[in-house]
Amino acid sequence: MIDGTADPNGLPGPVLALCGGVGGAKLALGLYQVLAPQQLVVAVNTGDDFEHLSLSISPDLDTVIYTLAGIADPVRGWGRADETWNFLASLGDLGGETWFRLGDRDLAMHVERTRFLKHGRGLSEFAAHAARKLGIGAEIVPMTDDRLRTIIVTGEGELPFQHYFVERQCAPEVTALRYDGAEHARPAARLIETLSDPALRAIIICPSNPYLSIDPFLAMPMLRGALARSPKPVIAVAPIIAGRAVKGPASKIMTELGIPVTTRSIAAHYRGIINGLVVDIGDADEARGLDIPVLTTPILMRSRADRERLAREVLAFADDIAARSEAAAPGTASVPIDSAEKKAL
C-alpha cells in the first residue's frame, strides 16, 4: 500500500475530499468514520454562497459541518435536526423574504459567520472555528476565501445559484453555467498546503453534482492545474446510477446541456483530472472499456454501514492505483508539488 509518509503514530497521510452539499457530504462522513480525524481534510464548494437578509450564507460548508458534527437534519440533508421556524414565520408576518428557509438553530451559524467576515476574518478561519466548536476533529476548509459565485445561464436569463436552485426549484432550462470570480480566485491556503503535502494519500471527488458543486473548484485555474499535475491518485465517485442522478438536478442539467446521462460522460467530464472512477455495480457494462481504472461497487449510501463500506473501498482503490503507478515509475507517486509550483499557487 502506497499511502504517503506515515506520521509518528504510524497513520497513513491525509486524504483530501472535495465536495458540495448533501450528496457529497455523505461520503465525506463515511471517510470521517473510517479515518482518524487528523487524516481527513474536506474542501467544500462555495459557489453556492450568497448574501441574503444581510447575512453571509455558505450552504455547502454548513451542510458538511452539520453532517460531520452529527446534527444535520436526516431527511432534508441540509440545515439542522430538531429545527424550529419561528424566525421565518415572523419574517413572513412582516412581509419579508421567506423563499430561502433559515431555521432558528441554523440562523446562529449565519449571524456568527457574518460577524466574523465583517471583522475581516476569512471564511477559512470561520469554518475551522465552527468545526472545532461543534466537536469535529477533521479539517473543513472552503475551496476559496475569495468571492466565487455560480451563475446559472437559463432560457429565462442568468440566475444566481440559490435563486435557480431554491426559489425556482431548478425549473428553468439550463443553457450554460459560469463561475463568477473564478479566474482570479485563489484556492484556500489549507487546500493548497494539503495538495502539496508529500504525505497526501489520495484526493477523492465525492459524488457531488459535477456542474454545480465540483466545477466551481475546477474553474479556478490554479486549482485545476494543481489537481491535474498531482502525483497522488485522484478518484471520483460517480453521482449518477443507471442514468439518473443519485440526488438533485444533475441528470436534468446534463440532458438540457445535451450531455448523455452516463458514467462515460462523468469520466469524460473529469478527463485529465482523475485517474480512477468509482461507478455503481449496475453500471459495470456501461463503464467497461473506459480508458481509466474503474471500481464497480454499490454506491448508493442509505446507512452508516453503506457510507463506511464505500469509503473503505474508495481508499483501497486509491491505494491500489498509487501502488500501480509507483511500480510503473518508481518515485513519482510521492513527488510533492515543488516549491516553484507552490509559489505560483
Residues that bind ligand FO1 (CB under 6 A): 20-22, 48, 59-60, 62-63, 78-79, 100-102, 106, 162, 165-166
> C-beta of 66: minimal distance to ligand FO1 in Å?
8
Cell of 59: 450552504
Query: Could you tell me the CA-to-CA distances from 160 to 62, 319, 320, 334 in Å, in that order?
Result: 19, 39, 41, 40
> C-beta of 246: minimal distance to ligand FO1 in Å?
13
Question: Closer CB to ligand FO1, residue 137 or residue 160?
Answer: 160
Which residue's CB comes closest to ligand FO1? Answer: 21
Asked if 308 contacts 218 with a C-beta cutoff of 8 angstroms, the reply is no
> C-beta of 45: minimal distance to ligand FO1 in Å?
7
> C-beta of 64: minimal distance to ligand FO1 in Å?
10
Asked if 313 contacts 174 with a C-beta cutoff of 8 angstroms, the reply is no
Question: Closer CB to ligand FO1, residue 199 or residue 218?
Answer: 218
Question: Closer CB to ligand FO1, residue 59 or residue 276?
Answer: 59
Question: Closer CB to ligand FO1, residue 164 or residue 270?
Answer: 164
Q: What is the CA radius of gyration of the chain?
A: 20
Question: Closer CB to ligand FO1, residue 211 or residue 317?
Answer: 211
Helix axis angle, 86-93 relative to 104-118, nearest 10°? 80
The pairing of beta strand 50-52 with beta strand 139-142 = unpaired
Asked if 31 contacts 310 with a C-beta cutoff of 8 angstroms, the reply is no
CA distance 277 to 270: 9
Grid cell 436526516 — which residue? 74
Note the residue count of the chain. 345
Helix axis angle, 59-69 relative to 123-133, nearest 10°? 20
Question: Closer CB to ligand FO1, residue 126 or residue 317?
Answer: 126
- Within 10 angstroms of residue 157's Cβ, the number of other Cβ atoms is 8
> C-beta of 166: minimal distance to ligand FO1 in Å?
4
Grid cell 457494462 — which residue? 285
> C-beta of 72: minimal distance to ligand FO1 in Å?
10
By CB neighbour count within 10 A (0-12 exposed, 13-18 middle, 19+ buried), where does 336 fall?
A: middle
Question: Closer CB to ligand FO1, residue 64 or residue 315?
Answer: 64
> C-beta of 300: minimal distance to ligand FO1 in Å?
18
DSSP H stretches of helix in 77-122: 86-93, 104-118
> C-beta of 29: minimal distance to ligand FO1 in Å?
15
Question: Closer CB to ligand FO1, residue 83 or residue 286?
Answer: 83
